[in-house]
Structure 1
Amino acid sequence: MQNIKNIIFDYGNVIFDIDFKIAQASFQKLGITDVETFFAHKAHNSLFDDFETGAISPAEFRAGIRAAANQPQLTDQQVDDAWNSLLIGTIQQNHDLLLQVKAKYRTFLLSNNNEIHYDWIINYLQATFKMNNYDDYFEKAYFSQHMKLRKPNTDIFEQVLKENNLNPAETLFIDDSPQHIAGAKKVGLNTLLMTEKPAQLGAFLKANGIL
């Protein structure tokens, strides 16, 4: 793409497959009845925002799920398994693509995440790809629970831009969530809405002139 020197990637449903419907079904099995309003792609209970910004601990998050389900006897493992059912996986090809993009641009990862998902993902990467983290694939990987900020709020984008001395006019943000794209546009970032599955990331990047 013309004039683009830097790319900020989202993680879920850009690089790594996630499925909100599976998580909704898992929460329903725990006893949560209003899953469409409790947890969905475009909106959810404030419990999730608090967890993604590190405002509450994993123990407090689990307590919130128990309260929402009205099931105080649920074990930590039951809650974690339901929450982690969102996470599907990724493919080696996408890691190879990230290295190709990194060779041409300054690249960054910016993910709304949380401690339970993060630990699952790191264990998955180690077991499946012998990777310890994403340090080799991006100049820097940012996760909301470490930053105490989350997308689509403009302050999270502003921090990444400021810390890395990035010109928003020369920076592209790729995400699958329209509300996150809208937040990025407010700080002047160029944006692309990911409309394909992560398995099609290579074709998506080529179609948009990135590779």
Structure 2
Amino acid sequence: MNNIKNIIFDYGNVIFAIDFLRTQNALSQLGIPNVNDFFAHKGHNQLFDDFETGSISPAQFREGIRKVANKLDLTDQQIDDAWNSLLIGVSGNNHDVLLEVKKKYRTFLLSNNNKIHYDWIIAYLQKDFGFNNYDDFFERAYFSQDTTMRKPNPAIFEMVLKENNLNPEETVFIDDSPQHIEGAKKAGLHTLLMDVHPENLHAFLQQHKLL
């Protein structure tokens, strides 16, 4: 890509491996019916949108799961364990890759996230890597639960562009979800669909001449 000065990264399945099937299985075991319609890569119940935009609290999210499962005796821990089963971990040497990329571009993180997942991820980063956040790897990290917006809403991309004085013509957004790519395009960004496992991030960036 020519004239790219800024890269906005998604997190899940770009830097950090996640597994929707594991979570579908875990939610099904809690008693969620029609789990493929309830939670999937390309679509999900409104409950998840509400949680990822900070419209509801973790307690309200858990109550929503109990109601859908029709099991009001599910514990917080059971629900959190099922929900966090999505999260696998940072793939390969992706932290080193991010530092390499940061030497050449202004870099940002834009993740649809939620309080339960965020807390798990921060604890994981502290335990396995010894750092508390992503300040060393990005100029700024954006999480949907802090913005009241989520991808693919073009407004969340426009916010990142405006707050950091980024020219969309000089900025590329990388995500594994086609619907999020479409939202970024509406905001005028260049886009790349991450169609390989996140352990191949370095090769993916090289393939597209960003490294």
TM range (shorter): over 0.9
Query: Is there any run of 5+ residues in structure 1 with no aligned partner, and where?
Result: none
1:85 match? 85
Q: CA RMSD in A?
A: 0.6
1:203 match? 203
Query: Is there any run of 5+ residues in structure 2 with no aligned partner, and where?
Result: none
Aligned ranges for residues 115-154 of structure 1 at < 5 Å? 115-154=115-154
Give the aligned residue type for 1:197.
H
Secondary structure of 2:43's aligned partner: coil
> Does residue 10 in structure 1 map to residue 20 in structure 2?
no
Q: Return the offset for 1:20.
A: 0.4
Secondary structure of 2:108's aligned partner: strand
1:184 match? 184
> Does residue 31 in structure 1 map to residue 31 in structure 2?
yes
Q: Return the offset for 1:41.
A: 0.5
Give the aligned residue type for 2:24.
Q
Q: Return the offset for 1:91.
A: 3.5
> Does residue 68 in structure 1 map to residue 46 in structure 2?
no
Q: Is the Cα–Cα contact under 8 Å of residues 8 and 109 in structure 2 kept in the other structure?
A: yes
Q: Is the Cα–Cα contact under 8 Å of residues 6 and 166 in structure 1 kept in the other structure?
A: yes
Aligned ranges for residues 103-122 of structure 1 at < 5 Å? 103-122=103-122
Q: Distance in 1 between matches of 2:98 and 2:174?
A: 13
Q: Return the offset for 1:92.
A: 5.5
Q: Percent identity?
A: 70
Q: Is the Cα–Cα contact under 8 Å of residues 16 and 90 in structure 1 kept in the other structure?
A: yes
> Does residue 47 in structure 1 map to residue 30 in structure 2?
no
Give the aligned residue type for 1:9.
F
Q: Distance in 1 between matches of 2:118 and 2:92?
A: 19
Q: Return the offset for 1:65.
A: 0.3
The two structures have a TM-score, normalised by structure 1, of 0.99
1:168 match? 168
**Structure 1 residues 59-78: Cα deviation after superposition (integer angstroms, max 9, x where no partner):** 00000000000000000000
Give the aligned residue type for 1:156.
I
Q: Distance in 2 between matches of 1:74 and 1:52?
A: 21
Q: Is the Cα–Cα contact under 8 Å of residues 91 and 199 in structure 1 kept in the other structure?
A: yes
Q: Distance in 1 between matches of 2:198 and 2:129?
A: 17
Secondary structure of 2:191's aligned partner: strand
The two structures have a TM-score, normalised by structure 2, of 0.99
| Divergent runs of 4+, >2 A | none
